[in-house]
Chains A and B, each alone.
Chain A
Amino acid sequence: MDLSLIIMQLLSGIALGAVLVITALGLTIVFGMLGVVNFAHGALFMIGAYAGLYLASLTGSFWWGLLLAPILIGAFGMLIEFVLIRRLYGRSIDDPLLLTFGLSYVLVEGVRIVFGSDGIPFPTPPQLIGVLDLGIGFFPRYRLFVIALVAVVLLVLWLMLEKTRVGLIVRAGARDPTIMQVLGVDIGRVWLAIFGLGVALAALGGVLAGPMRSVNPEMGSLVLAEAFVVTVIGGLGSIVGAVVAGLMVGISISLVALFAPEMATIVMFALMAVVLLIRPQGLFGVKGRTA
């Protein structure tokens, strides 16, 4: 096996990991702020993919789908927070989790009613069809685009959280919501926005994954497990953790697929078990909160 093949596979892993990073990031940001784990995250990822596909065919352009689907589904997420999840603050931490699980049933079945149970192919945008010669081998253009876009989104998120006033409120709110209320910040609005952001990231992940996987109502269930594995490895609530763990999982899946394809899905769970045995709070997690 030559080196260039391994490097190409590594790049594939990064592209796979990039989608995982975006999806897990949505989960981890919401948990960091609201202390809620959204079990409908996988279903919203799937709905994002369908919305992207639908909007792309409606407008005739993949780019509108890519832009509008996260906004639309993010707004839908805010509605979910406002109507359902808001009622559960102050109750057991299990309740939002149970509620969102029930919600995922409704969402998946809803999509089956509207779009049918069969998978739908998601066409790659014409500008990104084909491969690019990287000198050592050919790599799909679309996957390079995914890596680049995720890098940009991460940079924007990081700048927003670290350099702006809004980011300051968000970070402070994650530390101590009560003090923020005393200081006159409407924390309910912050939570609403953050939940919407988390769901929008899931939808973005769904649209990006569309051309790489086939779009079907069940696609969210594998993604949910993957996103959980990533957040558990990285440490729930840690943004750096989600990025590092997402890339780690993506790369290990594609490298293992090269040598032992039947082990590819299993390897990430094994990775998670090892991390948990050594560091129960995850690589970048804070001890005490969850482990």
Chain B
Amino acid sequence: MAKSAPGGLAWLLDQRVLLSIAVLAVLPWLLPSKALAVNVLIYGVVVMGYNLLFGYTGLLSFGQAAFFGAGAYFTGIAIGRYGVPWFAAVTIAVLLSTCLAAVIGVVSTRTRGIYFSMVTLALAQLVYYVALQAASFTGGENGLRGFTVDRISLFGLSVNFLDPVNKYYVLMAFAALAMWFQSRILNSPFGAVIEAIRENEQRARACGYNVERCKLIVFMLSGAISSLGGCMLALHLSIVPLDILHYQTSGMIVMMVLLGGARSFFGPFVGAATFLILEDVISLWTPHWQIFVGAIFVLFVLFLPKGIWGTLLEGLPIRKARQ
């Protein structure tokens, strides 16, 4: 992304990480419940990682749930089964999930276009069925239970993790780390290359970039960030439901990124918030909230493909001048 001259709105928009953190910091007091705010945080991180793949590289994967779920399961297994401290568990979980992303990426990035969507969906379903069958490790259909993190301590500092406000800000630190990491990727030359691949794959290839390797790397980075969201979920819930791996979860991630706005930095959080608030509000008066969310999503695809945040940003005069 081209740097614009400092000053005014343009300067402010360049501080996207700080700006996003500022919004997230007040979020628990804007939403009806702390639980909802925590979910926005978790899904925001997952969707942000996915946005790297879909929004910035243009690869429509339907298998992101595999990494979200892997992050959660690996965290839970490391803490519950092996008694690993939370910080090490999260690190191990992200590393192992990235390895999983490498394996799935090697197979799926060999394909293009619609094929890629179908193959990622199928491979993520494979992960789902493996988790279902390996019940001794994962708890199978009942989900993973038996691990609880009640205190989070780091560098001598210890907080009560059961307190909802503490929990939110601890998890927000994770989100901030993920946002900083994602912003660094996007600002790097590699960030420019993946956008070049999205705009014109052949041209990027002709420029001498190894398109296949770039796709694989971005697939792994995206999986790593989304898996961090999974770690956050495991710490938050103290259980990991099997459904987290189902392709419906992948589909939900796709919906969230589109509702918020693919290709925009803060869009994933807006999308996650929109989806979760819709779910929250509609399920107050009907258990069949999915029919409304599905219909709203269809309307977005038809009439608002840039999503809420993407459309808003486009409306800002400053953005137009920069492009």
Contact = CB atoms under 8 A, between A and B. Distances in A.
A225 B121 contact: yes
B303 to A, nearest CB: 9
A91 B129 CA distance: 35
Interface in A249-277: 262-263, 265-266, 269-270, 272-273, 276-277
A113 B290 CA distance: 11
Given A221-B247, A225-B247, A102 B115 contact: no
Given A236-B115, A266-B130, A102 B125 contact: no
The bracket for how many chain A residues form the interface is: 35 or more
Contacts of A229: 122
Contact of A270 (B117, B126, B246, B258): B126
Contacts of B291: 105-106, 109-110, 113
A269 B126 contact: yes
A84 interface: yes
A80 B207 CA distance: 42
A132 interface: no
A277 to B, nearest CB: 6
Given A269-B129, A273-B107, A98 B294 contact: no
Interface residues of B, number: 40
A104 B111 CA distance: 25
Contacts of B129: 265-266, 269
Interface string B113-141: 11101110111011001100100000000
Nearest to B255: A102
B159 interface: no
* Main secondary structure on A side of the interface with B: helix
A225 B107 contact: no
Interface in B15-73: 60, 62
Contacts of A105: 251, 290-291, 293-294, 297
B305 A95 contact: yes
Given A93-B113, A113-B291, A276-B111, A225 B254 contact: no
B245 to A, nearest CB: 12
A37 B246 CA distance: 20
A266 B297 contact: no
B110 A291 contact: yes
B123 A232 contact: no
A31 B125 CA distance: 22
Given A97-B114, A225-B247, A103 B121 contact: no
Nearest to B116: A290
B157 interface: no
* Main secondary structure on B side of the interface with A: helix
A272 B122 CA distance: 9
A216 interface: no
Contacts of A91: 305
Contact of A99 (B110, B288, B302): B302
B112 interface: yes
B180 to A, nearest CB: 29
Nearest to B60: A94
B117 to A, nearest CB: 6
A118 B63 CA distance: 27
B298 interface: yes
B182 to A, nearest CB: 21
A82 interface: no
A291 B112 contact: yes
A103 to B, nearest CB: 6
A87 to B, nearest CB: 6
Contact of B117 (A37, A103, A104, A110): A37
Contacts of B301: 88, 95, 98-99, 102
B306 to A, nearest CB: 12
Nearest to B290: A109
Contacts of B300: 102
B111 A290 contact: yes
Nearest to B252: A105
Nearest to A110: B291
B5 interface: no
A104 B129 CA distance: 22
Given A232-B119, A280-B111, A84 B125 contact: no
A101 interface: yes
A273 B123 contact: yes
B88 to A, nearest CB: 30
A269 B110 contact: no
Nearest to A35: B114
Interface string A226-239: 00110110001000
Given A113-B288, A272-B122, A290 B113 contact: yes
B126 A84 contact: no
A20 interface: no
Which 6 pairs of residues, A with B, have the shortest CB-CB distance?
Answer: A105-B294, A269-B126, A102-B297, A109-B291, A290-B115, A106-B294
30 contacts: A37-B114, A88-B301, A88-B302, A93-B114, A94-B60, A97-B114, A97-B117, A98-B254, A98-B301, A99-B298, A102-B297, A102-B301, A105-B291, A105-B294, A106-B290, A108-B290, A109-B290, A109-B291, A221-B248, A224-B121, A225-B121, A228-B118, A232-B118, A236-B115, A269-B125, A272-B119, A276-B107, A276-B119, A280-B111, A290-B113
Given A290-B114, A291-B110, 16 more contacts: A98-B254, A98-B297, A102-B301, A103-B298, A104-B294, A105-B291, A106-B294, A108-B290, A109-B290, A112-B288, A224-B121, A269-B122, A269-B123, A272-B123, A276-B107, A280-B110
